[in-house]
Chains A and B, each alone.
Chain A
């Protein structure tokens, strides 16, 4: 490459790993995140746009690619965007996770 990558997501030529071609269906938690992104970015709500979303994923840093899978990165990006835009707060997300745990 002629210059360093533009971010952790700039992967061209960076890996030699084998490609896992196994097929599977998405789990509910993945469909949930996919659907939430679609709804939050639709014309009715316009809370986020695709560019902000991509940027939020890129901004998670290189560790996000090693420590989290595709839809987990989506989850973290959505969380960060919703907090940045004051749609939700970090505290209420944390509290809600605890509340559901306690049910």
Chain B
């Protein structure tokens, strides 16, 4: 059950959680208050920035994938220049440098940032804890099949796996394969099949009935 959003309209709201915090977490509140006192950050800037976090979802990424599924020439442009292709859909992710990697019948792709947690938030929403975890970062780079099985994803034996390590200035998104039996689905219905985990590469899009193709 999601927690009710805090109004964050005043300084009291911004520090409302203080008593429940650990010593390190309390330092964050202290830094917040000091930066506001010194005029480095305005309270409304901070509350807007905090509230913005709640609005980030994978919807934009899903839209991009769905468009690529229905429009082959858009897909080619997306794989060639992902930032420009996103702009066609009024999705402006600059200054992010994005590379979209397309899955094929032979190659499955999965994304990791072994050194930290680099990730295209504007398209995929907030990164889940597991993507940022030491275990994922340590393991998927050399045992992606085992990791994918832990996510319930079983690839065909002969499928090649490519792992992309987001070490520097690029950010990545996987373009999954369009599931079979979706010819009659509209673009927005197709977008609903595309989850964040499909665009990271640990899952494969499933039809609502649970039937999945790999």
Contact = CB atoms under 8 A, between A and B. Distances in A.
Contact of A25 (B3, B32, B115, B142): B3
B46 A36 contact: yes
Size bracket, chain A contacts: 35 or more
Contact of A68 (B24, B45, B116): B24
A29 B45 CA distance: 16
A80 to B, nearest CB: 10
Interface residues of B, number: 55
Nearest to B14: A32
Interface in B26-58: 26-35, 38, 40-41, 45-46, 49-50, 52-54
Interface string A23-51: 11111110111111011100001010000
Given A11-B114, A22-B129, A72 B24 contact: yes
A4 interface: no
Contacts of B2: 25
B28 A32 contact: yes
A28 B25 CA distance: 10
Interface stretch (B80-88, B131-139, B204-212): B131-139
Contact of A72 (B15, B22, B30, B41): B22
A82 to B, nearest CB: 7
Contacts of A14: 138
A23 B115 CA distance: 22
B93 interface: no
A29 B41 contact: no
Contacts of A92: 34
A56 B138 CA distance: 21
B40 A87 contact: yes
A22 B136 CA distance: 13
B70 interface: no
A100 B45 contact: no
Contacts of A19: 130, 133, 135-136, 139, 147, 150
Contacts of B214: none
Nearest to A25: B2
Interface in B147-179: 147, 150-151, 165
Contacts of B25: 29, 71-72, 75
Task: List the 6 shortest-distance A-B pairs measured between CB atoms, nearest first.
Answer: A35-B49, A15-B138, A96-B30, A17-B135, A11-B138, A12-B114
Given A36-B46, A39-B46, 8 more contacts: A10-B115, A12-B141, A15-B135, A19-B135, A19-B150, A40-B40, A93-B31, A93-B34
Interface of B: 2-3, 6, 14-18, 21-35, 38, 40-41, 45-46, 49-50, 52-54, 114-117, 126, 128-130, 132-139, 141-142, 147, 150-151, 165
7 contacts: A11-B115, A12-B114, A12-B141, A18-B135, A21-B150, A23-B128, A68-B24
